Amino acid sequence: MTGLLTVLQHADSAFPSGGFAFSNGIEGLAALGAPLGRDGLAVAVAAMMRHRWASSDRVALVRAYRAGDDLARIGEVDRAVEAATLVEPLRAGSRRNGGALLAAHIRLATPGAALFGSAIDRGRAFGHLAVVQGFVWRSVGLPQREAVAISGYAAAAGLIAAAVRLGTIGAVDAQAALKLTLDVVAELIETEVAPDAEITSFAPWVDAAAARHARAWVRLFAS
């Protein structure tokens, strides 16, 4: 039971990670007129999970998790995420979220968190969110599969919560959209990450929306 409660603790949106400030492209899509009602949002989020989270964040998390306490290998994963994230607002958002999550774990005295923070300060790592997730969730004793599941749920739920805050969808329809999306997330979680898997992302419509959003005069989210 303790293991399940630990999973719930780290999956809780109340856990401080700074993610509420970022829509990760949803606000940009809304500004372009994308249909973000229940069905349209479910389709958009499912596509983002398949073509960005599954091939980039999920792979980075697993590679960082498998690296254990080897900060040199973790730095390599971090640099790969930096290179694969083409749009600056998304890169910056990933680093800021990762930094916020790591800062919380440093304050919680999670083993190795302070050393990882020092590596970032010395320029040996960037601290991208997925990399930090893999590192700290291994350090608190979460199994790899559960760590991937938390990341997938948090990514999907965060995208949908952004749409609610933007007013494109109501809370009940948002939960319906999330339920549809979680079927896709469950499928992706069960897909094995090969030891030599590359970190890639191909979501040009999201990249274009996020780049345009960065130049908007008025916006609710940082990305």
Round to whole Å and give the CA distance between 55 and 202.
9
pLDDT in tens, the chain (223 residues): 667 888 888 888 788 765 666 777 788 777 777 778 888 889 989 999 999 999 999 999 999 999 999 999 999 999 999 999 988 888 888 999 999 999 999 999 999 999 999 999 999 999 999 999 999 999 999 999 999 999 999 999 999 988 898 888 899 999 999 999 999 999 999 999 998 899 998 887 777 777 776 665 555 565 5
Which pLDDT belongs to residue 10?
85
Residues ≥6 apart with Cβ < 8 Å to 211: 28, 87, 88, 89
Which pLDDT belongs to residue 93?
87
Which pLDDT belongs to residue 2?
61
pLDDT digits (tens, 9 = 90+) for 184-198: 999 999 999 998 899
Which pLDDT belongs to residue 36?
81
> Considering only CA atoms, which of 21, 57, 26 is closest in space to residue 149?
57
Q: Specify the residue for token string 């916006």.
A: 219
Round to whole Å and give the CA distance between 124 and 205.
32
What domains lie within the chain, and their CATH numbers? 19-213 (1.10.4190.10)
Which pLDDT belongs to residue 221?
60
What are the tokens at 136? 């700290």
Round to whole Å and give the CA distance between 154 and 189.
13
What are the tokens at 197? 């898997």
> Considering only CA atoms, which of 119, 45, 42, 25 is closest in space to residue 78?
119
What are the tokens at 72? 């040199």
Round to whole Å and give the CA distance between 171 and 175.
6
